[in-house]
Structure 1
Amino acid sequence: MERVELAAWLRLLETPGLGLARARQLLAAFGSAEALVGASPAAWREVLGAKAAEVLSQPPDSLPDQIDRTIDWLAADPRHQLLTLGDPDYPEALLQTADPPLLLYMSGRRELLNTEGLAIVGSRTPTPQGRDNAASFAREVSRAGYCVVSGLALGIDGAAHEAALSGPGSTLAVLGTGLDQLYPSRHQALGRRIEDEGLLVSEYSLGTPPLSPNFPRRNRIIAGLSRGCLVVEAALRSGSLITARLASEAGREVFAIPGSIHSPLARGCHELIRQGATLVESPAELLEALRPIVGKSKTLPLVAEDPEPGGEPGLVLQALGHDPVTLDALIARGGWPAAQLNALLLELELEGLVARLPGQLFQRRRRG
């Protein structure tokens, strides 16, 4: 993203008092962030009215520093990326929700945004059995090729993320802070592992600290990115039930694991079941319930049991990474002569490990 475009998006999103609803209204009227920022105050007034137009005409003093900070962050690591509402790669599942975020900050495996996901959420202070249940369900869900989506919180979220990293579906964490402010501090190492092997996502700008209102709000993204939502343990008043409600409102299936009638952390799950959530007692039951939701036509991102090739083909796969790249970029990364690299890519393409995309791009594939 060029600086001018980034500046337009950040001005739209960081201007205090404007809000996402008005920002979305402006984008619909002007077609792009750059176009609306370049429009006249009179044009803003026609869309928003005088008061909101006056708010937009006064960008925050911190905007230049925020732009520089974001540009530096993007340049620091190729895994750091931004995704805007109008991008072709914007997740369709999130677009179908009532309040999709206008800009997402990402770090890690971008392709996980558009795989089949299951949210697994629950108490920050689970019982040992609840933690074991979260890990067991997440491990089997990831082995089946579904991406486990959660919020990096202590307790159930952390157990689900960690277990999901062992499977091909892997895991996606939606943060309630800026991506440079991993929270809670006890999950710094887990967050870095997810950044390496999964995906970190946030709608909040860099530098955003942990603020209480942001965590319930980010739950709509967890729900929106998922085909269903599993609640492992939850009290009657908990953020997990907010996520379950948002999932239900977005048309997602809600699942709940029952527990002891004497446990306060089972009462939230029991209430969800009374309201119509699907009771599940094993990962096999959950996966069986997900199959008709996903549909037979969907191809899950399963990894082959066969080991990946070694030698030069294996090195090419490593150089490819997970994003589409050009032939020139691969030559720069590995130093192969063009003729040799073309031959290696053809070999990998015939084995189903590399896809040739329009625009002379190549992308790594996962064999099912």
Structure 2
Amino acid sequence: MPAPDDLASWLRLEQTAGVGPDTARKLLGAFGLPHNIFNTELSALQKVVPDRIARALLAPVSETVSLLTEQTQAWAEQPGNHVLTLADAAYPLALLEISDPPIVLYAKGRIDLLSRPSLAVVGSRNATTQGIVNAEKFSEALSLAGLSIVSGMALGIDTAAHQGGLLAIKHAQHAGSTIAVIGTGADLVYPARNRALAHRIAEAGCILSEYPLGMPAIASNFPRRNRIISGLARGVLVVEAALQSGSLITARMAAEQGRDMFAIPGSIHSPLSKGCHLLIKQGAKLVESAQDILEELQYIPATTSLAPTSTNSEPDEQSAQLLHALGFDPVDADTLAARCELDIATLNGQLLTLELNGLLEMLPGGLYRRLG
């Protein structure tokens, strides 16, 4: 963590109106560390930034910034909390490769993960059961291979990705664990339903934010933090995504940053597969297993024993026949009954058994889809 005076200067720079990552880098490039910027003549500042920003930089420190500095200093002194600046040796090198790295990062947990190889796993908040299974199992396998799993701690695919990354720790000490890049201050948990998950990540992984302490969940923060999710990683895996999904924003940022893009294909009838299919058409690598990703990245796993990408129980012969008739596209019960030559009552009983065993899921509209 920076010394108290240095931290105050970094936070003052971060909080100056009109100063974002791009402007900050110009100032730092011209004058060096932040305290030099605030001891520079107005005329010199005006040669680098517009007059209004130059004057804002030399204005007296506000009470709001002073209070934030005190709160941040106290927060950073707590075990497991870290404040990283662009000048910090622990600042993730991968983020220095992107066009607008954050001036300051706030981290809870293992900051060593920020310098290890990682893969981003993202997707829909309203994921299907199969999407949740895929995200968790791919993430577990990749974490077991030594890659840290980066995601955004949203509900759905993000949550499953973090859980998969944490599961691998139970099997191997060298597992990559997980990094949650959040859109609020690092002292807050959003969404509240992921409070328990956030505590687990803070203990065994890392929570990362570019936003100052106390920053609430503002809609515009989340698309912006996506550049950090992709920037930290060697590639981005999109598990499920609709055509208007925020995951496609992350994928686009990954492409702009020179990262690899991966996508899991799905049914041509599923709205949550259309985003993945679009990415594949645009050049993303179609993947069916974690091994596909490791080979594309030319990454040598820390272990050759990868976690399986599916754990559905094996069906009996009768169930296997029903699953064969179901295929891999959604189908309604009447159509399935005709294919199997079963009455609806018998079919419903078998469908319920398969659903309880995790071998199929019921979709809106009374449709059934096979899992695994």
Query: Equivalent residue for 2:54?
Result: 53
Question: Is the 1:15–1:60 contact (alpha carbons within 8 Å) kept by the matching residues of 2?
Answer: no
C-alpha displacement of 1:43: 2.5
1:62 aligns with 2:73: no
User: TM-score, with normalisation over the residues of structure 1?
Assistant: 0.78
Query: Equivalent residue for 2:116?
Result: 115
Q: Secondary structure at the match of 1:81?
A: strand
Q: Secondary structure at the match of 1:173?
A: strand
Query: Equivalent residue for 1:96?
Result: 97
1:244 aligns with 2:251: yes
Query: Equivalent residue for 1:172?
Result: 179
Aligned equivalents of 1:51, 1:68: Cα separation in 2 = 27
Query: Equivalent residue for 2:20?
Result: 19
Query: Equivalent residue for 2:199?
Result: 192
- Point out the more displaced range, 85-94 or 163-172: 85-94
Aligned equivalents of 2:209, 2:266: Cα separation in 1 = 32
Q: Secondary structure at the match of 1:236?
A: coil
1:131-153 Cα deviation digits (max 9, x unpaired)? 00001100100111110000101
Higher alpha-carbon Rg: 2
C-alpha displacement of 1:20: 2.3
C-alpha displacement of 1:4: 1.1
Query: Equivalent residue for 2:331?
Result: none
**How much identity, in percent, do the aligned residues show?**
50
Aligned equivalents of 2:262, 2:211: Cα separation in 1 = 28
Q: Secondary structure at the match of 2:107?
A: strand
Provide the aligned C-alpha RMSD in A: 1.7
C-alpha displacement of 1:83: 1.2
Query: Equivalent residue for 1:224?
Result: 231
Amino acid at match of 2:52: K
Change (3 A) 1:92 1:13: same
Aligned equivalents of 1:272, 1:23: Cα separation in 2 = 33
Aligned equivalents of 2:25, 2:62: Cα separation in 1 = 19
Q: Secondary structure at the match of 1:48?
A: coil
User: TM-score, with normalisation over the residues of structure 2?
Assistant: 0.77
1:268-291 Cα deviation digits (max 9, x unpaired)? 00000000000001222222222x
Aligned equivalents of 1:139, 1:60: Cα separation in 2 = 46
Aligned equivalents of 2:304, 2:267: Cα separation in 1 = 37
Q: Count matched residues.
A: 297
Question: Is the 2:46–2:54 contact (alpha carbons within 8 Å) kept by the matching residues of 1?
Answer: yes
Residues 1-368 of structure 1: matches in 2 within 5 Å? 1-58=2-59, 59-77=61-79, 79-167=80-168, 168-290=175-297, 292=298, 294=299
Aligned equivalents of 2:101, 2:51: Cα separation in 1 = 26
Q: Secondary structure at the match of 1:104?
A: strand
Amino acid at match of 2:265: P
Aligned equivalents of 1:4, 1:87: Cα separation in 2 = 15
Q: Secondary structure at the match of 2:105?
A: strand
C-alpha displacement of 1:55: 2.3
C-alpha displacement of 1:194: 0.2
C-alpha displacement of 1:155: 0.4
- Point out the more displaced range, 55-64 or 177-186: 55-64
Query: Equivalent residue for 1:349?
Result: none
Aligned equivalents of 1:19, 1:55: Cα separation in 2 = 13
Aligned equivalents of 2:304, 2:266: Cα separation in 1 = 34
Question: Is the 2:120–2:151 contact (alpha carbons within 8 Å) kept by the matching residues of 1?
Answer: yes
